[in-house]
Amino acid sequence: MAGHSQFKNIMHRKGRQDAMKSKLFGKLAREITVSAKLGTPDPAMNPRLRAAVVAARAENMPKDNIERAIKKALGGEGDNYDEIRYEGYGPGGVAVIVEALTDNRNRAASDIRSYFTKSGGNLGETGSVSFMFDRVGIIEFDRSVASDDAVLDAAIEAGADDVISGEGGHEVYASPESLREVAKNLEAKFGEPRKAALTWKPQNTVAVDDETAEKLLKLMDLLNEHDDVQNVYANFEISDALMAKMGG
């Protein structure tokens, strides 16, 4: 159980403007509807739906929107979405994983491939970069919920695998199989987390220069702005100075 790691979350700076917030709410609603369709519509009994609802609350999505997205699944409404994972290399040979929910596979593939190509990267086959990441559960809490030591002790007791505490908050990692139980135990102690979901965690990160980092951040933004894209993961580190300059 480590208190520090080289793994950094790259915040993709979404949801800052009204238009972006509206798009983000649309993506969150889509995930809620799909999760409710795939399992039971009760968040307490459906871990994926629970994670989707927690993510929506963390973005201050109105309760009515959340309930409407669940009702869509109950009524069999809404389009049928395919879950697709795209993998490729961005500028500087950085590994990138893109998770999408789409009702048009051809459109999504064409758009995402063009983003990679325009950025100087290339889209690969499924599995071409995911071997460089671990599929893990993550539970995030605000910095203010407790001290580093208190969160570390609680995480160990809850059966977590790793904890990273920093200025941005506390990140608790668990195996996919134990995520639900660990999250439940920590929630009982610290309240609802701001995030509890499965993620792709890089096994190692690649330091890139500022010029390459700017190209990578533009690629991340392009991908995140696409309606079909739900999540983007990459294995690069950039300087704090550039993050500040780019408004990250």
Q: Which domain holds residue 36?
A: 17-75
Q: Looking at residue 24, which CATH number applies to its domain?
A: 1.10.10.200
pLDDT bin (cut points 50, 70, 90) of residue 167 is confident
- Whole-number pLDDT of residue 245: 72
Length of the chain: 248
- Whole-number pLDDT of residue 4: 32
Average pLDDT over residues 41-57: 89
Q: Residue 177: inside a domain, yes or no? A: no
Q: Residue 170: inside a domain, yes or no? A: no
Q: Residue 176: inside a domain, yes or no? A: no
Q: Residue 55: inside a domain, yes or no? A: yes
Q: Residue 214: inside a domain, yes or no? A: no
Q: How many domains does the chain have?
A: 1
The model's pTM is 0.84
Q: Residue 98: inside a domain, yes or no? A: no
Q: Residue 105: inside a domain, yes or no? A: no
